[in-house]
Homo-oligomer: A and B are copies of this chain.
Amino acid sequence: MRFDLFYELAVPRFTGLTEREVYDHSLDEIALADSAGFDGVWLVEHHFFREYSHCPAPEVLFGAISQRTERLRIGHGVVLLPFNHPVRVAERIAALDIMSGGRMDVGVGRGVSPLEYEVFGGKMSESRARVDEGLEILRRAWADEPFSFDGQFWSFPEIDVVPKPLQTPHPPLWTAAVSPETFPMAAEQGLGVLAGPFKPLFMISEDRQHFVDRCHELGKDPADLGFGMTVGAVVLDDHERAREVAGTNIRWFYEQLLRLTAPVLEKGGEAYRYYREELGTLRALTGGTPSLEGLEAAGMVVAGDAEHAIEQLRGLASHGIDHVLCAVQAGGVPHADVLRSIELFGEEVIPALRGMRTGVEAPAAGRGRGRPDMRIFLRESANVTPELLFQAMPLSFRRDRADGLRALYRIDLAGEGGGTWWVDVADGSCVVTREHEGQSPDVRIRSDAETWVELAKGNRSRLGAVLRRRLRVKGDRRKAAQFARLFG
């Protein structure tokens, strides 16, 4: 496994920290990680996110890190390519690659903040095309020949960009990946994947499979490109202390992330459809305040003593995640705790996991084993309604279990928040609608809204509900039996 750090430079008001303390602490922590055995460090680029992230100019920190570390790879996680001039980005990264002795990794992304586009220019609806054009310019600027460019967004006469990066042909490229279509695209474009930070493992493990499959189709080795997942991480000698810190700081981090990404759900348009329809649903389901247990079960947090952390990370590895970006300072985790986390990773966690085989090496291994599911998010939420649950069904749809299945389900729920929903499973996909003209369902399910929510949360058993007549199922028995297994 590869172990990196991931920093957003949080300055939460409740911690009383100053910006200077956070910057100084973070540089000290990163310097420690260099000798402790970590492999890399990634810094975000976020603008105007007071408290959550005071890191709008990671490039200048990379300059500092290049002099404070000797081994760590240094990653742009990620540079917002739609509105940073790609030539300027190419120049900066080349200079950093030189100063770091060829240790740069370059993640690119389109960001999640409509405000950033309003300030820095460009249409958010064109974000993906802008990233693609930016990548083309980066590659040409890093090549030896002078070049001119006449693109959709950027055009310029012949230029001779200097300096050139040390790594040849250029530093490895990565992409932030949230939307499902990004994962196979990464394989096609030769980009490593940076998954998360707000995406649970049960969704990411599907995404990873698409990435790996597409790599294999193209004859590429996914391990050459890489697939990293960001997790909040607090590892301390005192297990309870670690969970307390994570319960405060890391939970705050995810809450803020959900809050700050809200505008993209409204304003992102078609290019961010996935955010609105799937992550938006997840946000609504959790009420914006996921529990530590929920985050942990979803593979998004590692919090506890070293033994616990090793167990958690083995779980991730069993789902193919062989590269984690540890957000050790997320939400303003106290400096002393971050330092100790880094030490414990170096002394115990990393040595225990360094050589282990993961799903990327053996793509299909472990798939589905102990797979976490969405119930963990729902259990503590007061927000769950049948409508939200049906919206969320495509998120947890187990394509791997639907092979060849063709079934139409009609669900009628009585009581407040109830109604009728149709779930149409065909060709490995799942569509939920409120109406369905002209067809009879294969299976008809009747229940009430309250029971349906409790079943979804796992607070009641289906058998008990049937026995107590709160759940009635009619129609094709085989298809009826498959229904629950389809949504893991």
Interface residues of A (CB under 8 A from B): 11, 19-20, 23, 27, 47-50, 54-57, 59-68, 84-85, 87-88, 91-92, 94-96, 98-99, 115, 118-120, 156-157, 159-164, 166
Contacts and interface: CB of A to CB of B under 8 A. Distances in A.
Contacts of A62: 60, 63
Given A85-B120, A156-B119, A95 B23 contact: yes
Contacts of A68: 67
A287 B60 CA distance: 41
B27 A99 contact: yes
A15 to B, nearest CB: 15
A56 B160 CA distance: 12
B63 A119 contact: no
Contact of A92 (B57, B119, B166): B57
Contact of A166 (B20, B87, B156): B20
Given A19-B164, A119-B156, A64 B66 contact: yes
A35 to B, nearest CB: 16
Contact of A99 (B23, B56, B162, B166): B23
A51 to B, nearest CB: 9
B48 A160 contact: yes
Scoring A115, A120, A163 by chain B CB atoms within 10 A of each residue's CB, the highest score goes to A163
Given A120-B87, A157-B115, A96 B60 contact: yes
Contacts of A59: 57, 59-60, 63, 92
A99 B157 contact: no
Report the 5 A-B pairs with minimum CB-CB distance, sorted nearest first.
A63-B63, A60-B63, A56-B91, A57-B92, A119-B156
B20 A98 contact: yes
Nearest to A154: B119
Nearest to A156: B119
Contacts of A27: 67, 99
Nearest to A20: B98
Contact of A162 (B50, B61, B157): B50
A95 B53 CA distance: 12
Contacts of A99: 23, 27, 60-61, 64
A110 B120 CA distance: 20
19 contacts: A11-B163, A23-B95, A48-B159, A48-B162, A49-B162, A54-B162, A54-B163, A56-B91, A57-B59, A57-B92, A57-B95, A60-B60, A60-B62, A60-B63, A67-B68, A88-B120, A115-B159, A118-B156, A118-B157
Contacts of A166: 20
Nearest to A49: B162
Given A85-B120, A162-B48, A60 B156 contact: no
A65 to B, nearest CB: 8
Contacts of A96: 60
Contacts of A98: 19-20, 23
A169 to B, nearest CB: 16
Contact of A64 (B67, B159, B161): B67
A54 B160 CA distance: 11
Contacts of A64: 63-64, 66-67, 99
A94 B63 CA distance: 15
A295 B157 CA distance: 35
Contacts of A87: 47, 119-120
A91 B49 CA distance: 12
A244 B249 CA distance: 62
B63 A61 contact: yes
Nearest to A149: B119
Nearest to A164: B19
Nearest to A19: B163
